[in-house]
Amino acid sequence: MHDPIQQLLVIDDEENMRHMLTSILSRQGYAVEAVGNGHEGLRLLQEKKFDFILCDIKMPVMDGMEFLREARKLDHCSTIIMMSAYGSIDSAIEAMHLGAYDYISKPFKAEEIILVLKKAEERERLQRENAQLRSQLSGIGEDFSFGRMVGKSREMEEIFRLASKVAPHPTTVLITGASGTGKELLARGIHDVSNRADKSFVAVNCGSIPESLLESELFGYKKGAFTGADRDKKGLFAEADGGTLFLDEIGELPLSMQVKLLRVIQEQEVQPLGAAKPQKIDVRLLAATARDLAEEVQQGRFREDLHFRLNVIHIHIPSLSQRLDDLPLLCDHFLARFKNSHAVDVQGIAPAAMNLLLSYSWPGNVRELENVLERAVILAEKKMILPENLPPEFGVKQDCRRLDDIFSGFSIKTARKIMEKSLISRALEATGGNKSRAAELLEISYPALLQKIKQYTQ
């Protein structure tokens, strides 16, 4: 599907200027209409929607500033760019305050006005994406999440659908996926929407408990069952009675324990160490592993019958690199959390930094993304996360040269010019060329930035 043609209105009292702009911009694919003063422009704006408006400041009947004031009263979404041969910083500032997006001085070259419009188009695209993302985030929990997992990719939508469908049933679920993909979060989500949600969710990492302690940890023991057993202790199965037991990294379970676990699943009972008889339990079992259990069975490291018992419903969570569509949504999710937990005012991620995040391989998956963003939030000095706030493995050049290597002389004036030019370049790179956002990062006014860009590019 082709993008719709952009509607553009030119307001200028000079017939030659109207003709020239109409000719140039029509060749660029815009649908152009042109009028001679602000009053005519206002009338058209009331009748029709325009994506962009190029408006001269000095005009008869109604000048550009008065047009801006009246246009503010209308419910329009046009991006307005002012033009003037009598430009000044004061008039630029006033135009910005009245709602103009940009300001260009006459005379200008054709490529200059085209560049300004392309930047405005990029701004509009980013605003639409941000609005769409905010809309999506407002619907998290309904369309783009399951429990505390976030995702809108086709793969995650299918996982959320399957998890929601299986949650009400006592069926055993095997969750697979690489480390850091969110296997425990999915298990918790299944528990939270099941009819066991008001009971315990008990999670244990099978690889973190020494083999000699596994049986007593899982099944419990009676006082006197072994040296040091000075009291009765409930096992994890008993702790989860009526609720859910999540066995993480079940592929690490020794063969001797696999036999006992199989019996527990079949009989729905456990026998604590030192107990005379088993006790009945009602536990929903969820298991997870980063290993390929079918391969482990082939290698003789995992029991085939236990694999069959666990693999009633299999849910595989893909790596983050396989679902990069979810990354911007995950970033907003984590930023919202860290803004609260760290009391910082980071509003978003600069386009240059987002490009680096999207091109990274993410070996540590969502957990690594969470850690990277927490670090970036802490290091960010502005309201945006910049490329230099990311870890070194993202390939960001860290300029560590000494001042002696940068400045060859002693002139403070020259040093200030070099430093300002460098900072402006970094800010424009970080914001994808968006001058308004670059001005915010640099903590200067938009007209001041325009003046410095003009100064340093002459």
Q: Give the model confidence (pLDDT) of 180-192 as tens digits.
A: 999 999 999 999 9
Preceding amide of 4 cis, omega within 30: no
Q: Are 8 and 33 in contact (CB under 8 A)?
A: yes
Structure tokens at 133: 């993302």
Q: For the chain, what is the mean pLDDT?
A: 85
Query: Residue 283 in contact with residue 237, Cβ under 8 Å?
Result: yes
Helix/strand/coil percentages in the chain, nearest 5: 50, 15, 35
Domains detected in the chain: 7-136 (3.40.50.2300), 150-318 (3.40.50.300), 322-398 (1.10.8.60), 399-458 (1.10.10)
| pLDDT at res. 400 | 44
Amino acid at 453: I
Q: Phi and psi at residue 103, in whole multiples of 5°?
A: -145, 130
Q: Say what the pLDDT of residue 403 is.
A: 46
Cα 105 from Cα 77, distance rounded (Å): 24
Q: How sure is the predictor about 74, in pLDDT bands with cuts at 50, 70 and 90?
A: confident
Average confidence (pLDDT) over 406-412: 62
pLDDT at 162 over 70: yes
pLDDT tens digits, 225-259: 888 888 998 999 999 999 999 999 999 999 999 99
pLDDT given at position 363: 93
Predicted TM-score (pTM) of the model is 0.60
Q: Which of 145-149, 304-308, 329-333 has the lowest mean pLDDT?
A: 145-149
Q: What is the pLDDT of residues 13-37, one digit of tens each?
A: 999 999 999 999 999 999 999 999 9
Q: In sequence order, what are the beta bridge partners of 56?
A: 83
Residue 30, exposed/middle/buried by CB under 10 A (0-12, 13-18, 19+)? buried
Type of residue numbered 168:
P
Kindly indicate the confidence band of residue 328, based on its pLDDT and cuts at 50, 70 and 90. Answer: very high
CA angle 2, 31, 428 (to 5 degrees): 75
pLDDT at site 1 = 41
- Round to whole Å and give the CA distance between 404 and 207: 54
Q: What is the mean pLDDT of residues 337-366?
A: 88
Could you identify the residue written with the tokens 């990277």?
372
Q: Is 33 left (phi over 0), alpha (psi -120 to 50) or beta?
A: beta
On whether the CB atoms of residues 81 and 112 are closer than 8 A, the answer is: no
| 427, 383 Cβ separation under 8 angstroms | no
Residues in the chain, total: 458
pLDDT category of residue 138 using cuts at 50, 70 and 90: very low
In angstroms, the CA 73 to CA 443 distance is: 29
